[in-house]
Amino acid sequence: MKTFRNPILPGFYPDPSAIRVGEDYYLVTSSFEFFPGVPIFHSKDLIHWRQLGHVLDRPSQLNLDRTTPSRGIWAPTIRYHEGVFYMITTFVDNDKDCHNFYVTATDPAGEWSDPVWLEDAPGIDPSLFFDDDGRVYYTGNRVPPEGQEYAKHMDIWLQEIDLKSGKLIGDKLSIWQGALKVGHAQEGPHIYKIGDWYYVLIAEGGTGHTHAITIARSKQITGPYEGNKANPILTHRHLGREFPIVNVGHGELVETQHGDWWMFCLASRTSGGYYRNLGRETFLTPVKWENEWPIVNPGKGILEFESTAPDLPETLWPLLSVRDDFDEDELSLAWNFLRTPQGDFWSLKGAPGHLRLRLKPEKLSDLANPALVARRQQHLSFRTAADMTFEPATVDETAGLVLFQNADNHFRFEMASGEKGFAGETGTLTLTVRLYGEETVLASIPWNNAHTQFKVEAYGQDYSFFYRENEQHTWTPLHRNADGRVLSTDTAGGFTGAYIGLYASSNGADSSNHADFDWFSYEGLE
């Protein structure tokens, strides 16, 4: 009996939406303020996934300028109909206004179209449903037309859509308001037609500990919808805060080509108490049907770290290398930018075999696009390292390795010069933690070498920082057992997960300088 391990997409990959096209499976997740937006994955067996690219990979598709932490792209849904892939999602701006749009492609690897923005489409978490009669429906959430009876009380609504004109047509219909009156935050609706029934699967209970998945059904797409008396069909809120998998919700149902059913959903792993550095991750669990209702993970009813694998031929993809030597013509798909890149600040050609970062005035603490290239932390315990050549010319210039949650909560492991400049023998290697917007220097030493190697080892919430000049030297600790909970959403707030990145800044000043990174490595220690 083959088994698989959850999460199937570790690290910050929340709000999974997935489809099957023949014997191929495609999956997208939210990306918030990071660019490119909406990573898209392909699988043959539901377990092993390879990233094809990003749906929103051009500035013309996604302008994240000055987007505040945890705004941006929320809860995409992917669908397929008659040779065309559709991805529909919400862009949430800094005023919390919700702007819903969709893009299309005939190849899921892209390129995808520019957005079709929808008018009079309130709320978040849009989804598309293609009915048997050729009609197409939009569903999302909104404030109930009759008003909210309690805090975060939301309404799931339905309306026909004309995809050729990009317009909603007909009347808006309220179809369900969730299983519990106190459930609140009814969102993430997906509609399916299975047998004679239309099902609407939603998330409710908020994105935190009380997150849950509920379901209702109707013989007509317009309703009335009857809630499952066994709701919620999946949650971990009753298991307590010490259970290692928490905040389970936001589901998607997929049927295999053999007639088996599976559910994708988000959840988080905790570490060092109720702290979730990795953000919300993508999990998978089996589903059976009884009396025309889904039973999630029969006999257990919860997500497990290890489960029996789907009855599909195992299809493995090349694993992402532990070490990136920056020898390719393009950045690996694992790398992201913070907001839409502005200016020509990074290059793989300026110093062949290196990632060159040109210093920008923007800082990590700014609501801007700093010279940062970063990838997700995907393990509770990990080791990461990087090789950098950098000669700071002024006191303002810094570069190094960062561990990032948001503008006000991160670590910076940086090289800088002192008041006399780099040649003045006052250079430093400094570890700074920024917590709730306040900065503390955890350690600093004199450092006047143009060549620096950084290393971070994390075991749970104990993060230790090391340095050396090159491979001929042993690693020297700069600071041991820093508290990694600064990288948790439970400390920092928001909906994202921790990133590890390469960074360069002139801290508000103009600069023509650059830092060259020869390699970067990341590996899990679990």
Task: Point out the residues that are catalytic.
Answer: 15, 187
Would you put residue 460 in left (φ > 0), alpha (ψ -120 to 50) or beta?
Answer: left
DSSP summary character for residue 245: E
489, containing H or E segment: helix 489-492
Q: Is 132 in contact with 115 (CB distance < 8 Å)?
A: no
Determine phi and psi for 268, rounding to 5 degrees.
-130, 150
Helix/strand/coil (H, E, C) string of 264-282?
A: EEEEEECCCCCCCCCCCEE
| Cα angle: 79, vertex 84, 90; to 5 degrees | 45
- At residue 486, the 3 state secondary structure works out as helix
What secondary structure does DSSP assign to 56-117, as a single string?
E-STTT---TTPPTT-EEEEEEEEEETTEEEEEEEEE-TT--EEEEEEEESSTTSPPPPPEE
| 306-308 and 293-296 beta bridge pairing | unpaired
> What whole-number distance in Å separates Cα of residue 280 and Cα of residue 436?
21
170, containing H or E segment: strand 167-176
Within a 10 A sphere around the Cβ of 317, how many other Cβ atoms? 13
Type of residue found at 208: G
